[in-house]
Amino acid sequence: MLETVIDNRNGVLWDVSQLVPELSWKTSRIGKPGQVDMTLVRGPSYQQQVEVSPGDVIRIRLDGQKFFMGYVFSIEETHERELRITAYDQIRYLMESDTYVRTNVTATQVIKDNALAVGLILGELADTQHKIPRFLQDSQKRIDIICAALDETLMATGRLYVFYDDAGNLVLRDVEDMAIDLILGDGSLVYGYSVKREIDTDTYNRVKLVKDNKKTGRREAYIVQDSSTIARWGRLQYYQKVDEGLNEAQITAMMNRFLELKNREQRRFSLEALGYPGVRAGVKLQVTMEELGVNQFYLVEECTHHFSGDEHTMDLELKVYG
């Protein structure tokens, strides 16, 4: 059962659970806030008294468990006395831009600094440990600053972390700790799917990293590539400038790690399934579909839960993991 409460921050709480015929909750693994879109029907007497304003807090529980907490950002009222409301979680406030400069800083500290700068609530943050020697982000959105720190950590260590708002607390978790005990596929929740194979968006077979050498006044380039996939796909190059403090061995290790992650055909699933509360962007789960010869773990890139009356379904965008 879905319970929806609106808090107008002046002491009035509206339990609108019976007034919301439709609600969706969407999460993305990288760089976007969680988003709730819902329809609230205003009828006679009691319902007419319900007031919703930008900035109001929305708290949602599913079967008694915390599901979403966010803030109203838009309200549209129709001639049928329906309110169409869009709310976002705390990550929406990390969309502001600023400049951030630190040395020997971990991605965990980058999150703390940027979240606390705008007064957000932190939960448990995994310790990424890797220290970025020099980290300069000029006039960037705070969420992009955080994503850049996590990307640098991935390049340096091979560890993938997921940053998200867990119903009112910003958390960071290692993806290895986000596996859920769920198998999707044959006879298990799924009622529709599509499969996409591509090398268009996140595939690279050549990595070129450069760094400025202040002593010589020159820019040094480091390259690693896979000739076999270049012969098949053409050259797909990833380019990035790295910190001057990195030595050749560190840069080579970064390139090899990145090529190992990205030098592959991307296979993505779009699944339509019955709703399962524990699924959100960032979790990994098993997909087993004999018809397609699939039996492996996938990472949830995007997840949208749909609630309509007693019906709960979800749309998933999945990417091969591991």
On whether both 16 and 122 belong to a single domain, the answer is no
Contact 170, 115 (CB under 8 A): yes
Residue 44: which CATH number?
Answer: 2.30.300.10
On whether both 111 and 61 belong to a single domain, the answer is no
Higher pLDDT, 68 or 293: 68
On whether both 216 and 298 belong to a single domain, the answer is no
On whether both 8 and 82 belong to a single domain, the answer is yes
Q: Is 85 left (phi over 0), alpha (psi -120 to 50) or beta?
A: beta
On whether both 210 and 81 belong to a single domain, the answer is no
Which pLDDT score, from 0 to 100, does residue 12 have?
83
On whether both 132 and 145 belong to a single domain, the answer is yes
Using a cut of 0.95, tell me whether the model's pTM lies above it: no
Mean pLDDT of 106-133: 97
CB-count burial class (<10 Å; 0-12, 13-18, 19+) for 231: exposed
Contact 319, 301 (CB under 8 A): yes
On whether both 82 and 143 belong to a single domain, the answer is no
Could you tell me which of 29, 278, 303 has the C-alpha nearest to residue 146?
29
Give the residue numbers spanning the domain of 139. 93-175
On whether both 99 and 119 belong to a single domain, the answer is yes
Number of domains within the chain: 4
pLDDT bracket for residue 322 (50, 70, 90): low
On whether both 191 and 294 belong to a single domain, the answer is yes
Instruction: Give the CB-side neighbour count of residue 25, counting CA atoms within 13 A.
Output: 27
On whether both 275 and 195 belong to a single domain, the answer is yes
Which pLDDT score, from 0 to 100, does residue 195 have?
87
Cα gap 84→234, rounded to integer Å: 47
Mean pLDDT of 251-271: 89
